[in-house]
Chain A
Amino acid sequence: MKRRKYEELFFRVLMVLATVFVAGSFFLIVGTIFYKGAPYMTLDMITKTPGGGFYIGKEGGILNAIIGSIYVAGGATVLGLLISIPVAIYINMYMGGKTFLANTLRMAFDVLFGIPSIVYGAFGFLIMVYFGLRASLLGGIIAVTLLVIPILVRTLDEVIRTVPFELRDAALSLGATRWETAKVVLRQIRPGIFTAILLSFGRAIGDVASVLFTAGFSDNIPTSLHEPAATLPLAIFFQLSSPVEEVQGRGYASALVLTIIVLIITVLSEIFIRNFFKHKI
């Protein structure tokens, strides 16, 4: 009898320890980045593009990478939405939502979600070679769009499924066509669409492997789709591989910038998801 009690206690303690470790790793990571990055954080970092001797430790900042990342992630999210909203509607409204085919499609998008970004990057590179494009903002946007489509489709699909069937039935019974009903549903899930945008943007802005081959790198802020664009994660990676201490430090500060951006996006999306599901019956 005693042994069973001790066993219970032992595993309970083990579970709490494991949980503290897993949840604590988040603080450990963010804490390390803050601790190392904060001393190198200056206003110049986020308001200036790299100056002449930036990569040997002289003046400048990473504005080029911040803007470049926003262009790539924003462009990919917009392009991804244009494709994935119709896809999510088609699966749920036109294919009946629960048929074998619809479920197979969902699984296909789950599998696409599992494909690593390096494969999307390599594939994006093949597309660019095929069309004769150089590493450019456009190339980066294409590769990252492929990466975020599965995220957007699966999130929108989950959201559309929370819309009560009665609502669709009411619209249909009033003589609305399926497309008109879809518009009613779309209005209903507007906060959900916003959540999907945040999730997609957050993933897109932090990904390296997909833009490595496709977007290139540049010290200037791109002014057209055909110019190469710097991205924040890549800027971090390059600065960290420098032997100059000052440049490495700036890499830590850049990591801090990216961490803060991503944390804000994640927290916002958490709040949106909560509110969205709270108001559902």
Chain B
Amino acid sequence: MYKLRLFKDKFMSKLMLVLTLASVSVLFVIGIGLYYHSIPILHKLSLSDLLTTSVWKPLKGLFGFYPFIMGTLWVTGISIIIALPLCLLTALYINEYAPARIRKILTPFVNLLSGIPPVIFGVWGVLFIIPLIQDHIAPHFVAFSTGYSVLAGGIVLAVMIFPLIVSIITEVLRTIPQDLRDASLSLGATGWETTRKVVLKKALPGIIAAVVLAISRAFGETIAVLMVCGNNAVVPHSVFDPGYPLPALIANNYGEMLSIPMYDSALMFAALLLFVIILLFNIISRVILARLERKLAS
């Protein structure tokens, strides 16, 4: 009986170890798998050619990722520019100013927003943001725009990353000791002065981590951006130009990728590119956040 129990314990321990290692190793297996499938295209064209040329003609064997990289950067940049100030102010309000009652009502909405699936954001973008840009925003600046633009992608993405940024900054603000605020307030500083000179200063690493994490989320978002971005493989020059981000490129062409030589390899290279960038950004922000947490614990 005793032996059986010990055996069970040992057995379960080994089984769990195997499952743990297997599920973590997915991280490496994805990287290796994508790299392995990108080798053909990396042999044919040099890395710098792939990243800096802008001709995309799979049938002729030309794979220039530059327009797609620029499309991704434009969309991501716009979304962060819109989302960061709004989310920072919201998180500050929720954490520093709002009475407990209002805080309790507000927090669930942030969670509800984060539960909405990407495709719904896309539908909303098509129904609401596109007409808004086409009829009300673009006419003030350019002669003609269909509305399908990097701006539309950026706005939709910004709303999608609201919950992520707000929740992380709120968490970070919570780690700042109340004593610091009290000290500042007791010296006669106003609420905003305390927020700006004490709270924000202390929270800066956490805010950076939140932004880095949000960038990586925006980088990989596929379907919502694909639906509103126009998907035109040229480098955008203004916010009203259409763009074609990397994830949209992968999603749009999976159907034909096995019928054209090198095409599958090129798309897997696109996935690898996304994977590596997002992996790096995630590790950076997680290390910053873990350090903050440890500081709080000590």
A residues whose Cβ falls under 8 Å from a Cβ of B: 4-5, 7-8, 11-12, 14-19, 21-23, 25-26, 28-30, 32-33, 36, 83-84, 86-87, 89-91, 94, 103, 105, 107-112, 114-123, 125-127, 146, 149, 153, 177-180, 182, 202, 205-209, 212-213, 233, 236-237, 240, 251-252, 255, 258-259, 262-263, 265-267, 270
Contact in complex: B127, A252 (CB < 8 Å): yes
Judged by a CB distance under 8 angstroms, whether B180 is at the interface is no
A208: chain B residues within 8 A (beta carbon): 117-119, 222-223
Q: How far is the CA of A123 from the CA of B272 in the complex (A)?
A: 10
Q: Closest Cβ of chain B: how far from A243's Cβ, in Å?
A: 14
Name A267's closest neighbour in chain B (CB-CB): B112
B222 and A179 contacting across the interface, CB-CB below 8 Å? no
**8 other A-B residue contacts (CB within 8 Å) besides A7-B192, A29-B116:** A5-B190, A8-B193, A21-B86, A22-B90, A26-B109, A94-B17, A117-B222, A240-B126
Contact across chains for A213 and B120 when beta carbons are under 8 A apart? no
Asked if B159 contacts A25 (CB within 8 A), the reply is yes
| CB nearest to B165 among chain A residues | A22
Query: Which residues of B are at the interface with A, using a C-beta cutoff of 8 A?
Result: 5-6, 8-9, 12-13, 15-17, 19-20, 22-24, 26-27, 29-30, 33-34, 37, 85-87, 89-90, 92-94, 97-98, 106, 108-113, 115-124, 126-128, 159, 162, 166, 190-193, 195, 213, 216-217, 219-223, 227, 247, 250-251, 254, 267-268, 271, 274-275, 278-279, 281-283, 286-287, 290
Are A26 and B113 closer than 8 Å at their CB atoms? yes
Residue numbers in B under 8 Å from A36 (CB-CB): 127
A202/B254 in contact, CB under 8 A:
no
A residues in contact with B281, CB < 8 Å: 114
Are B119 and A177 in contact (CB-based, < 8 A)?
no
- Whether A115 and B220, one on each chain, are in contact in the complex, defined by CB atoms closer than 8 angstroms, is yes
Q: Is the CB of B128 within 8 A of A255?
A: no
Task: From A22, A122, A205, A209, give the contact of B34 (CB < 8 A).
Answer: A122
* Residue pair A87, B16 in contact (C-beta under 8 Å): yes
B29, B87, B115, B126: residue with the most chain A Cβ atoms closer than 10 Å? B115
Are A112 and B27 neighbours in the complex by a CB distance under 8 Å? yes
Q: How far is the CA of A149 from the CA of B111 in the complex (A)?
A: 20
Establish whether residues A116 and B27, one from each chain, have CB atoms under 8 Å apart when the complex forms.
no
Shortest CB distance B155–A (Å): 10
* 12 A-B interface contacts by CB (under 8 A): A4-B190, A4-B193, A7-B190, A18-B85, A18-B90, A22-B90, A22-B166, A23-B109, A87-B19, A107-B290, A208-B223, A237-B122
Asked if B112 contacts A236 (CB within 8 A), the reply is: no
- B227 → chain A, closest Cβ, in Å? 7
Complex contact A86–B223 (CB within 8 A)? no
Provide the residues of chain A in CB contact with B279, threshold 8 Å.
111, 115
Q: Which residues of B contact A258 (CB under 8 A)?
A: 117, 119-120
Residues of B within 8 A of A109 (CB): 23-24
A123→B219 contact, CB < 8 A: no
Q: Among the listed A11, A14, A111, A153, which residue makes an inter-chain contact with B283, where contact means beta carbons less than 8 Å apart?
A: A111
B9 to chain A, nearest CB (A): 4
| Chain A residue nearest in CB terms to B166 | A22
